[in-house]
Amino acid sequence: MRLRDVDDFLIFKGANGWSRKSAHGYADALRSFFRYAEKRGWCKSGIGEGITSPRIYAQEGLPEGPEWKDVQRLLKVIKGNNAAALRARAVLFLLAVYGLRSGEITRLLLSDFDWRSETFTVNHSKRGGTQKYPLQREVGDAILAYIQKARPRFSCQNLFLTLKPPYRTIGSSALWKITSRGMQSAGIRCRRRGPHSLRHACATHLLEQGASMKEIGDLLGHRDYRSTSIYAKVHLQQLRRVADFDLGGLL
């Protein structure tokens, strides 16, 4: 193993979707590992000290996602009655309309949907607990089409499953591929193409439509309003309007 091999690995991952923050974390982990490996005599000395982490810039973590008109085009371009298209359409609707996190998508169960009352329940990733949402008709239609025509007849109760056996719960990497390929098919140019980009697009769209920070935070499942206020930095032209928003008694 050479230091150049580590550098090539980080460069390769950066060119294939890793953010600087992700590469920074992996570089730190690799540096610790190689320092330990050097002490054990597993590799040449100097590799650990030679690994440099990508620089993290202030405000680099600001949300970034496609414009809402592009999201609408994305939802229209996913067509077809094959299993992959039906699953992708249901997933993308949930990501775009409700701004769900990847983990919240993968944890959805068939029993979380109350079709009679037209609601569904989400187990939140970060703040914990459950939250009930009204089921928007187009989203419900997309999910029903997936369940009835594409979802494998399998004992697992998770809503979204893999397309091929052995059937299992869909993972975060599959969600990233669904979102990335959909955005590519729709001709959407966006530096970040994963599921979280649609969460950002959802929040920004609500902000532009005049929703309060509290309303956006409630939809996204934020525990603290300060987690929501970061979206105010995305579109500077909205800051004057944000100042007039009702923050639900938080100030």
Catalytic annotation on 101? yes
Q: Which of 44, 69, 126, 132 is catalytic?
A: 126
Residue ranges of alpha helices (H) inside 130-248 are: 137-149, 172-185, 195-208, 213-220, 225-229, 239-242
Determine whether 193 is an active site residue.
Answer: no
Which of 31, 87, 89, 101 is labelled catalytic?
101
Give the long-range contacts of residues 68-76, CB within 8 A, separation 24 or more: 68/201, 68/204, 68/205, 68/208, 70/183, 70/186, 70/188, 70/190, 70/201, 71/96, 71/198, 71/201, 71/202, 71/205, 73/186, 73/187, 73/188, 74/182, 74/183, 74/186, 74/188
Q: Which residues does residue 161 pair with via DSSP β-bridges, in sequence order?
A: 169
Cα(215)–Cα(200) distance, integer angstroms:
15
Catalytic residue chosen out of the listed positions 89, 199, 200, 205:
199
The active-site residue out of 98, 133, 146, 231 is 231
Catalytic residue among 151, 192, 196, 205: 196
Cβ–Cβ contacts within 10 Å for residue 31, how many? Answer: 18
Which among 87, 107, 151, 222 is annotated as catalytic? Answer: 222
Q: How far apart are CA 106 and CA 176, in angstroms?
A: 12
- Verify whether residue 222 is a known catalytic residue: yes
3-state secondary structure of 120: strand
Distance (Å, whole) CA 175 – CA 106? 9
Give the residue numbers annotated as catalytic, written as ranges. Answer: 101, 126, 196, 199, 222, 231
